Amino acid sequence: MNVIIVGGGKVGRKLVEDFNGEDYDVVLIDIKSTVCEQVQDDFDVMCLNGSGTDLAILNEAGTSRADLFIAVTDNDEFNALCAVMAKKIGAKRCVARVRNREYFNQLDFMRNALGINLIVNPEYATANEISRMLRFPAAIKSETFAKGRIELIEFNVDSDNALCGKAIYEIYRKYKIKVLICAVRRGDDVYIPNGDFVINSGDKLHITASHQDLAKFMREIGIIQKKVRTAILIGGGRISFYLAAQLLESGIRVKIIEQNIERCRELAEYLPKADIVCGDGTDKNVLGEEGIDNVDSIVTLTGIDEENMIISMYAKTRNVDKIVTKVNRVSFAGLMENMGVYSIVTPKNITANIIIRYARAMKSAVDTEMLTLYRIVDNKAEAMEFIVNRESEITSRPLADIKIKKNVLIAAILRKNKMFLPDGNSILEVGDTVIVVTTRHISSLGEIIG
């Protein structure tokens, strides 16, 4: 598949890295020659030095043959213009990053009028992710499949956890709750475990289950799910704005601490229900005064990674239950994640994941349709949701008789709105939604057959 990316910034580079690892032909267009040189040295892609709105450059990049055209520079109007030009030249699908709120409000109109297939708003997507995290506070991360009917969460096994030292089959036998441990991260390695796998303290488990079962399971193993009722957001940027709006809607009380008085006034105007505090969120006294000791959750969203990290660490010492930290630099995100207690969001990864998911869905074969794709465990594994939409080899026999590739796990099946966990006797049917967890790259259900 031919992919053209305009803009080699944080997201552009991440996309190049991800596409390059898979079977895509990538051309990157960037106005800075240093960026081009750097990317060309690091990845096996072609780089063109020039503007994404320059017709000659677009032609040289082969836009007329492109399957996917992605504009992710830091300028909304430029991205939209690139995408429109690419579409006119003949690119099959176009993606543009547009983050301005005014544009975002008229999203449908822009999509239709300009012919842009996917408009990504990094801040909005990040806010979505954070609000999911706050809804399931025991998990470091949580994703949902099948319109929220199935959850996939990541959580940390502490040394006093009941699961410690138990093999997975023992866990299933003991609790008799329909959950599936589908991936385990131990140190830098990722395992797709079988029944004999023994859980150690420090492991990070990825579990799928329905919402109710998951809550029950967490209760049984001694992790209490406390609902988040209040939240403090440090920093009043775009993410804060979107997040506050979403949280307020689901009945969570929100307090935003922002330094800039102008921005505070703006926020107060658009978010009348939220408490807006003008002050320095890195100041211990301000945090104390605004009730860090009583709040359920704190989300650090300033523009500076270090500040976010330090505020989160401080919040931890004040026993805040749920802490979400925004970290722009991925290398730091790893550092925080290793400490295990923080939930990390990295906007550029979230944006890149949305675009990759879109690209992968384009590739998926005819007999199945990919609905969602989440990259879990530091992008080392993927969880995907497919719809089986016609008879094929995979629907012909019980799963035990199908030779499935190594490191591929069918985590859950959803049939007629009821979720069940597959075993060897299960047979897939047309219309099923199937959730697959794997450390490989696949884009259709047929590819899991070994």
Partner 1 sequence: MNYRMIAYSTGRILVAVAATMTIPLALSLYYREGNVIAYLIPIIISIAIGAAVSIKTPKNKSFFVREGFIIVALAWIGISLIGALPFYISGQIPKFTDCFFETVSGFTTTGSSILLNVENMSKSLLFWRSFTHWLGGMGVLVFTMAIFTAKDTRTTHMMKAEMPGPIVGKLTSKWQFSARILYLMYIALTVIEIIFLLFGGMPLFDSVVHAFGTAGTGGFGIKNTSIAFYNSAYIDYVISIFMILFGMNFNIFYLMLIRKFTQIKDNEEIRWYLCIIAASALIIAFNILPLYKSFGESFRYAFFQVSSIMTTTGYSTADFAKWPMLSQMILVILMVIGGCAGSTGGGLKVVRVMILAKVMVRTIKNTASPRSVFSVKNDGKQLETGVVKGIMAYLVVYVIFAVISLIIVSLDNMDFTTTVTSVIATMNNIGPGLGAVGPTGNFAAFSPLSKIVLSVGMLAGRLEFYPILILFSPYTWKRS
Q: Which stretch binds partner 1 (CB under 8 A): 39-47, 108-116, 193-201, 257-265?
A: 39-47
The nearer residue to partner 1, 26 or 402, going by C-beta atoms, is 26
* Options 19-27, 144-152, 260-268, 281-289: segment touching partner 1 (CB under 8 A): 19-27
Reported residue count of the chain is 450
- The residue (of 108 and 188) whose beta carbon lies closer to partner 1 is 188
Shortest Cβ 41–partner 1 spacing (Å):
5
Interaction between residue 327 and partner 1 (CB under 8 A):
no
The DSSP result for 372-397, as a single string, is: EEEEETTTTEEEEEEEE-S--HHHHS
How far from chain centre, in Å, is Cα 336? 17
CB of 46 to partner 1, least distance (A): 4
Output the smallest distance, CB 45 to partner 1, in A: 5
Give the strand order in the sheet containing 275-278.
Answer: 275-278, 253-258, 230-234, 297-300, 322-326, 343-345
In this chain, which of 11, 26, 350, 376 binds partner 1, going by CB under 8 A?
26
Identify the bridge partners of residue 189 per DSSP, sorted by sequence position.
Answer: 186
- Out of 6, 15, 29, 45, the only residue in the binding site for partner 1 (CB under 8 A) is 45
27 binds partner 1 (CB under 8 A): yes
H or E stretch including 436? strand 433-438
Interacting residue with partner 1 among 40, 75, 128, 389 (CB under 8 A): 40
Nearest approach, Cβ of residue 19 and partner 1 (Å) = 10
Q: Which stretch binds partner 1 (CB under 8 A): 26-34, 67-75, 361-369, 399-407?
A: 26-34
Residue 324, Ramachandran bin (φ over 0: left; ψ between -120 and 50: alpha; else beta):
beta
**Which among 335, 273, 271, 290 is positioned nearest to 308, based on CA atoms?**
335
3-state secondary structure of 281: coil
Determine the residue type at 204.
K
| Distance in Å, CB of 26 to partner 1, minimum | 5
Return the number of the residue (43 or 104) whose C-beta is nearest partner 1: 43
Q: Which of 26, 92, 108 is nearest to 61 (CA)?
A: 26
Query: Is residue 102 involved in binding partner 1 (CB under 8 A)?
Result: no
Which position has the token pair 């579409």?
87
Residues of the shown chain interacting with partner 1 in the complex, contacts defined by CB under 8 A? 20-21, 25-27, 33, 40-46
